[in-house]
Structure 1
């Protein structure tokens, strides 16, 4: 086989190899549109899991887990578009933000934009194998959570008029255990999904 043919075969194999879980779904544009819509709906559904926490205006929700999971499964481009769709439609009045709310206002708005950043970065890392093993997935999800806080905490400081220590105490510390549980769940679900894919591809 010539060098040109070998290169073409290698390129074809590279293109066919799935980089994120969504690549396993057949189709192109229609598939992507369906996945983006389904991803936004999943995030909206997870945002309805709300647990108020005494001493902080920021509730515990399943929203961050939904955003990170969608970013990992769809990849950075589809993940970013999914979060943008979620934000835009919610800003227009669809009540699928936390607890059935809508509109880009309130103390959690910074966290919403943090989820956009996190879903994009987590999706990029997943495309490089960041969701294939337990340790890699845990690291990817931990970074995603940090990015959400990196945008959410300054937003909380501005909107609620809090100092940095107060914002950290109200907007980070109460959620660390819950975040650890979410990371553990993702570290189990995503690598297990890839293991199943490999098993059925044999």
Structure 2
């Protein structure tokens, strides 16, 4: 009889390292939220949207945990921030952050992690190029939520929205997608090496 799990049947990286089970899933979801909270504090101040390590964490969490657990990690991250824990960029928290110009990016993290996790469940994270494409797609999803939200929050026109919420982040988004692809591909390489050592 299999242990109950939040994960779907398709295994991701963590499923090759840890046994599946509800307790493990809860720990992984919590760890994913904590990683994102920590990465949020690695920030370069920029108005109205700072440059942070959050996006990289979101991509890695989604890719490693899969769609359901990755998305739940981002839901947990958003909820604890709303509850008042200082997990958002610069130690911020509360409804004012979600209602403000960066709120859409935080909401977008949920769907970005779900997409990258869904692609990882289909082995996109095991090759560098496919991984980079998967994580680039996750980054695009984040902006798809973040830009309209920013525009509404600041009553900004299209040009202002792009200048404030997209252009400064394009290069960093590409770098983060490549880094996430390298991290996941490297981790899979370690797992394969460990498997070969066991068999040998």
Provide the TM-score with structure 1 as the length reference: 0.88
1:172 aligns with 2:163: no
Q: 1:23 aligns with which of 6, 15, 25?
A: 15
Count, aligned residues: 184
Moved over 3 A (4+): none
Residue in 2 that maps onto 1:154: 148
CA distance in 2 between partners of 1:118 and 1:198 (Å): 27
1:41 aligns with 2:29: no
Q: State the SS of the aligned residue for 1:131.
A: helix
Residue in 2 that maps onto 1:6: none
Residue in 2 that maps onto 1:59: 50
Residue in 2 that maps onto 1:95: 86
Residue in 2 that maps onto 1:5: none
Residue in 1 that maps onto 2:72: 81
CA distance in 1 between partners of 2:82 and 2:41 (Å): 16
CA distance in 2 between partners of 1:105 and 1:155 (Å): 9
Query: Is contact 2:113-2:138 (8 Å) kept?
Result: yes
Query: Is contact 2:12-2:120 (8 Å) kept?
Result: yes
CA distance in 1 between partners of 2:177 and 2:79 (Å): 27
CA distance in 1 between partners of 2:110 and 2:158 (Å): 22
CA distance in 1 between partners of 2:158 and 2:56 (Å): 24
Q: State the SS of the aligned residue for 2:106.
A: helix
Could you tell me which runs of 5 or more consecutive residues in structure 1 were left unpaired when the two chains were aligned.
Answer: 1-16
Query: Is contact 2:104-2:150 (8 Å) kept?
Result: yes
RMSD after superposition:
1.3
Question: How far off its partner does 1:72 sit?
Answer: 0.6
CA distance in 1 between partners of 2:113 and 2:29 (Å): 12
CA distance in 2 between partners of 1:105 and 1:91 (Å): 10
Question: How far off its partner does 1:148 sit?
Answer: 0.5
